[in-house]
A and B are shown apart, each in its own frame.
Chain A
Amino acid sequence: MFSFAPSLVGFVRPDIDWHAVAPELTLLGVGAVVTLLDIIFLERGRAYTSAMAGIGLLITLIPIVTLAAQGTTREMFGGAFVVDNFALVLKAMFIVVAYIVVLLSTNYIAEGDYWENEYYGLLLSAVLGMVLMASARDLITIFVALELLSIPAYLLAAWRKGDLKSNEAGLKYYLMGVFASAIMLYGMSLLFGLAGDTRLSEISVALSGGDAEPVAILGIIFVIVGFAFKVSGFPFHTWAPDTYEGAPTPVTAFLAVASKAAGFVALLQLVYAGFGSRDDVYEPLFWILAVGSMTAGNLMALRQKNIVRLMAYSGVSQAGFMLAPLAVIGAIGDEAVSAVVTYVLIYAAMNLGAFAVIITVARRTASGEISSYSGLFGYAPGLCVVMSLFMFSLAGIPPLGGWFAKFAVFRAVVEADTAWGYSLAAIAAVNSVIALFYYAKVARMMWFEAAPAQADMSALRIPPSLLAALGLTAAATLLFGIYPPAITHFTDGALIALSY
């Protein structure tokens, strides 16, 4: 009678550290409340959803801060879910980025013809996926987190239902994303077959044993290629410009910053914790991806006439910079993780800021053409200064934040002290010059060119939520550049080393 009892009650609930999952649970709760609000109050609930989502996100910061204050590394589910400094810093970043995206969306969604409540619900569930990703240390958790953040994003990209371009954006993003997921999943299955375990720590052990058997190499390559789609690295970037252009601009900002960052988080975890000793396989791959992305992204960006497409290609090029430290991660370990995270954080501030300006300007010009920025200095000098700040920060000019991001990458690749590292540094240096050309093109339009004759030159009114987003991102961009310890405090190599 007792013989089959284990098969019935054999499931023992694993220990759950409620404090460690508090951020995820809070987000889930907020998402549920926002969705319920819509079901119960229907139209009347509209006015509150964006505020609810924003406040909910800020509340989610509380458990993150308390966890950080305790400072202990927590593990659950046999090491599949880890809360360490790395995870906390990135979770906080995802939450803050999402908060700013909510600020950007408030007017955009309220004033468009789009039903808004599901919007925030979907946004929050995508954020949940990202927050989960920061803690994922096994293949299944990574995959679940990835799908959790991707599927809402596919829907959000197609949010402007009546617009063909938006439909195209959503469909393209969906097809490419699913394709990438499939490749990645195949790679993961190969790795699982090799290691017999989904945890990265076990995979690391299994990989370090054998020599270059094709299964391991294929597995690693497929997984990396899958995420190269997510971070829009060359040559897997083709979806980015069309999706960015067609999607609602706040969603574009979300994809360009948060979704890309999530891809890098996953890559860092996989490479640092999982592929460890196989730098002979992944380093050349990342070298090619980095050089290809920064060069091709730059060259294509030079020809763009639409500001959002420009940002898409500039994003490809910036992804190349973020990929660069991964090409030397075998030699310098923690320092490469630190460089990538530093870059991702600073990039988030300046890129979101640039999108905030794009959204604000589009309220007046209703256009995405770069030429529509001509004469901006005439009717919105403050906005013009702020946009120049973001553009030159993206180009990496001191004393704006971007310089330190680029510096961190240069430092990492030079530290490796290999021919590959130095060549990467030289190529990156040349690329940062090419990039300046198109960033300066935007500045040139705003400052040097006169406004078109029939333009409305009355002062531009900026709604408070956009103003807040602009202020936050501009202040962060300046602060990170003038006083880099504000960022290195969180991204120091020793502090942020992943535990697995």
Chain B
Amino acid sequence: MAEFLNDWGLSLATFLPIIGAAVMLLIPKENEQLHKLIALATSVAVAVFGVLLLIQFIDNDDYGALNFVVDKSWIDVIDSRYIMGVDGISLPLMLLTMLIVPLCVIYSWNHFPEPRNPKAFLMLILILETGMIGTFAAQDLILFFVFFEVVLLPMYFMIGVWGGENRRYAAIKFFLFTLFGSALMLVSFLALYFLADPTMVAGELTRTFDMRLLPDAAAGIAKSSQVWVFGGMFLGFGIKVPMFPFHTWLPDAHTEAPTVGSVILAAVLLKLGTYGFVRIAIPILPEAAAEWAPFIGLLAVIGIIYGALGCLAQRDLKRLVAFSSVAHMGFVMLGIATLTDFGINAAVFGMVAHGLITGMLFFLAGSVKERYHTLDMTRLGGLLVQAPRMGWILGFCVMASLGLPGLAGFWGEFPAILASYNPAEVLAEETFRSYMVVAAVGTVLAAGYLLWMFQKTAFGNPKDEFANDPNVKDATFSEYLAWVPLLILILLLGVYPQLLFGATDPAVVNSLSECLESATSEACFDAAAGQ
């Protein structure tokens, strides 16, 4: 079993959803029940695989290194190989994906958005799952790029077909923004490929896209080129995160997307960007990262404040949660920009926490919309009176989102702020300490807009138009089924964060180059050139 999991587990977990989607393709769309069952069975099977992989991962007891490595030839002509593997950074994100997808299938069981068509909807979700898991597992830049792009089409169709009023605009905006970034990212990957020193692969000196070898191979690249190459990646990943000022696609996409689409978008897709920074940009180009870090940190704190102010200006509940994503991802990016193991650990924790909490908030927004047929907060109110359980769940998530200690959100934000007090040696302390102050103000604003939102929707008495609406019921069985695992995890990670930090820390420490410890990036650069 151990051997099977080590060799095949990861590839199977990645491609199982696609196989499920292929099976569904062959079944006529009238068999709705069967489609739902297949989708559920596939996604649950993937989740089971995830648990098995987790057990094996703990058993292998080497969190810092890549586990389950598969290395097969793929496109020989361009020296791109099929390399998969997960370590302590990617595993939590992969498991998050494997958890969210079956919950989404369960949630949509009885409420498919118009125009229904469960077959197409569920197939898209499964294709998305393959893309997301693959991105977290890929260890070859081209393979990463392919998986990174695979998620675009299903999401485009999901927003465009099942979305709200303004879906066409939102769908194409999402697609164009992301594609713009990833096209330049691809050029950067290619530049890296040609500029890095040839490396020994299988006894031959060749160029490589192997993410495991590139950190060493890229050390010899002239610093000016490194900065440009990093710039391309910055656009690719930064748009996906999304960082201010590239965030404008996010509120539109979230507002228009169907509930499940929003959940997947917030819980997983945004993490592809931050993961790219942690996994690719910083380990491979540490000196360039040091040059870019103050700028990234600046955009991150602008994002925190801007997102918070954006939230305060919203009337639409879903749009508010979308803007809060911009702010939360700002904390994640601030943690990354410190270039310390502490900050990056916080960032990975922040990604998972944000995935759980904001995913939950979007679920709730979807359920509110379904009951009230509006998300306009001026018309909502009295959720605690009409649907008390749902109201309290919303309250719980609001507390988690604003970073209340004891819940998961805290461990994403607080260490990120703390890390910017003491950034990597190469970075200017004063700059990051001022960022820290701004970010701290951001947490106050976060508490402000979240509590304001909670008051508007949950407190008081229901407005007249909904007071006797039979449509407004408390949470249903399928909703509980989809929410409870997330709520438990939010609490569990909040109480015992070591669960996650224990896994991420060795991997984060491994991924950071020693150069960042020295006082100037030049010193590190000279050392590499002298080799």
Q: List residues of A whose CB falls within 8 A of some B CB.
A: 392, 397-399, 403, 407, 410-411, 414-415, 417, 422, 425-426, 429-430, 432-433, 436-437, 440, 444, 447-448, 484-485, 488, 492-493
Contact = CB atoms under 8 A, between A and B. Distances in A.
B76 interface: yes
A398 B146 contact: yes
B168 interface: yes
Contact of B190 (A399, A410, A440, A488): A410
B528 interface: no
Interface string B176-188: 1001100110110
Interface stretch (B1-9, B156-164, B309-317, B453-461): B156-164
Interface residues on B, range: 20 to 34
A425 B187 contact: yes
Given A411-B190, A422-B191, A444-B168, A488 B76 contact: yes
B161 A448 contact: yes
A448 B187 contact: no
Most chain A CB atoms below 10 A, which of B78, B179, B184: B179
Contacts of B176: 433, 436-437
Contacts of B156: 440
A399 B152 CA distance: 11
Contact of A432 (B175, B179, B193, B194): B179
A403 B171 CA distance: 21
Given A410-B186, A410-B190, 7 more contacts: A398-B149, A399-B149, A422-B187, A432-B183, A433-B180, A436-B175, A493-B77
Interface in B166-206: 167-168, 171-172, 175-176, 179-180, 183-184, 186-187, 190-191, 193-195
B445 to A, nearest CB: 34
B172 A444 contact: yes
Given A417-B194, A422-B191, A484-B75, A430 B183 contact: yes
Nearest to A395: B179
Contacts of B179: 397, 432-433, 436
B175 A440 contact: yes
A426 B146 contact: no
A488 B75 contact: yes
A425 B175 contact: no
A398 B184 CA distance: 15
A417 B192 CA distance: 11
A492 B168 contact: no
B438 to A, nearest CB: 33
B153 A397 contact: yes
8 contacts: A397-B179, A407-B78, A414-B187, A414-B193, A433-B176, A440-B172, A440-B175, A484-B78
Given A417-B194, A429-B184, A436-B175, A448 B160 contact: yes
A403 to B, nearest CB: 7
Contact of A447 (B160, B190, B193): B160
A199 B356 CA distance: 69
Contacts of B193: 411, 414
A432 B152 CA distance: 15
A488 B179 CA distance: 25
Contact of A425 (B160, B161, B190): B190
A485 B75 contact: yes
| A-B pairs, 4 with minimum CB distance | A429-B183, A488-B77, A414-B190, A398-B146
Contacts of B184: 426, 429
B509 interface: no
A343 B70 CA distance: 30
B145 interface: yes
The secondary-structure label for the interface of chain B is: helix
A410 B187 contact: yes
B214 to A, nearest CB: 16
Given A411-B78, A440-B156, A485-B75, A448 B167 contact: yes
Contact of B149 (A403, A414, A493): A403
A398 B135 CA distance: 13
A485 B175 CA distance: 28
B150 interface: yes
A433 B160 CA distance: 18
A237 B387 CA distance: 65
B100 to A, nearest CB: 22
Contacts of B152: 397
Contacts of A429: 180, 183-184, 186-187
Contacts of B187: 410, 414, 422, 425-426, 429
B233 to A, nearest CB: 13
B303 to A, nearest CB: 23
A448 B168 contact: yes
Contacts of A403: 146, 149
B161 A447 contact: yes
Contacts of A485: 74-77
A180 to B, nearest CB: 33
Nearest to A481: B146
Contacts of A425: 187, 190
B264 to A, nearest CB: 18
Contacts of B76: 485, 488
Contacts of A417: 194-195
A398 B150 contact: yes
B133 to A, nearest CB: 15
Interface string B132-153: 0000000000100110011011
Interface string B449-482: 0000000000000000000000000000000000
Nearest to B187: A425
B78 to A, nearest CB: 6
B396 to A, nearest CB: 37
A147 to B, nearest CB: 36
A492 B145 CA distance: 22
Given A392-B153, A485-B75, A399 B146 contact: yes
Contacts of A411: 78, 190, 193
B157 A447 contact: yes
